[in-house]
Amino acid sequence: MRKRLLNIWERLSSAYQDPKTRKYIFIGILIISLVFIALALRSNWSQFKAQDIKFNYRYIILAVLIYPAGMLPTAISWHTLLRSIGVRLPFRTNLRIFSLSALPRHIPGFVWYISSRTLLYKEEFVPASLVVTASAADIILLALTGFLTALLLLVSGIGFSQEISTIQTGAFIAIPILILLIIAFPLVNRLLPYFLKRRGVQEIPRLHQGSLVITLLAMLIAWAGGGLILFVLAQAIYPLSWSFYPAMIGAWGAAGAVSLTIGIGIQGLGIREVTLSAILSLFMPPVIAILLAVVFRLVLTAGEFLWIILFIWLTRKPPVKSEGST
């Protein structure tokens, strides 16, 4: 089975050397991604259309416009994560590849997402083993930082006890986890070769602690940016005061981390939406919580499509000019 997969990968890699083949692959991935996005929109449309609730569309538009508040820090975290394993490319290049490989995430399974990213980085002469390793670390660290931001639910005290002990407990849990995560990098560098060599990976990356710290900080900012989008969107359906903003960050962190850990369904409500609506129901009516979770997914899809296409256009490679005769 492993040899068969390697043969398929070698054929795909050799075919990818042809510019026309690369173009057809990108067009095919884009079409498949758009189909799954359309299916997600269609399956969720009836969920909020049946509710007799007035929307403030200005906040919905604002939520779409501030989508980069969550996307750009995530792209920065991916850029610094690559630098931490020795892949030093310009941020413009990493942002372009990050944007091009984002749409396939709507296709079930991470294989499309990681494969498209691996093929794109092959043009930059980055080994597939490094890209796969970085992608796996990216998912793990995003899930971990998402769970850490979920502790803001405890710190904010919304939906739970308002006692000081709860706030102290949440802080005392979050701080040691962050410290252990940072000081554990030397241990990871010792254990990483053992696990990767057993899986046939020849080029073993070495993690750089400084870049990984920046990566974690960027991921935490990304979760805060996503919480800001969720908070702004809530104003369109169920206005809340700014004191609820930490809880929105925690709710989004928990829902995102659960979906990264377990996975998300394309049809109907996914695991992320179920988790998010359950947490939101702690401080708003359950029907409103479900509605907000569904609309949030639609807004994220619209914002992602709009801004990713824009970033792809802004980071496009300049045409190669042929030298004229002198």
- As a whole number of angstroms, the distance between CA 262 and CA 158 comes to 26
Is the pLDDT assigned to residue 319 strictly greater than 60?
no
Q: For 64-117, write each residue's pLDDT tens digit.
A: 999 999 999 999 999 999 988 888 899 999 999 998 888 777 665 566 677 778
Phi, psi dihedrals of residue 132, rounded to the nearest 5°: -65, -45
**Residue 296 buriedness (CB in 10 A; 0-12 / 13-18 / 19+):** buried
Q: For 128-152, write each residue's pLDDT tens digit.
A: 878 888 888 888 888 888 888 887 6
Question: Could you give the C-alpha distances from 254 to 96, 135, 144, 231, 310, in angstroms and in order?
Answer: 28, 20, 10, 15, 29
Among 62-76, 153-167, 200-214, 264-278, the least confident range: 153-167
- As a whole-number percent, the residues of the chain with pLDDT over 90 amount to 19
pLDDT for position 129: 78
**Residue of 145 and 156 predicted with greater confidence:** 145
pLDDT for position 278: 83
**Residue of 174 and 142 predicted with greater confidence:** 142
pTM score: 0.75
DSSP string, 289-320: HHHHHHHHHHHHHHHHHHHHHHHHHHTPPPPP
Question: Could you give the C-alpha distances from 272 to 149, 160, 186, 265, in angstroms and in order?
Answer: 15, 22, 33, 9
- As a whole-number percent, the residues of the chain with pLDDT over 70 amount to 58
Coil, helix or strand at residue 188: helix
pLDDT for position 167: 44
- As a whole number of angstroms, the distance between CA 182 and CA 56 comes to 43
CB of 153 closer than 8 Å to CB of 162: no
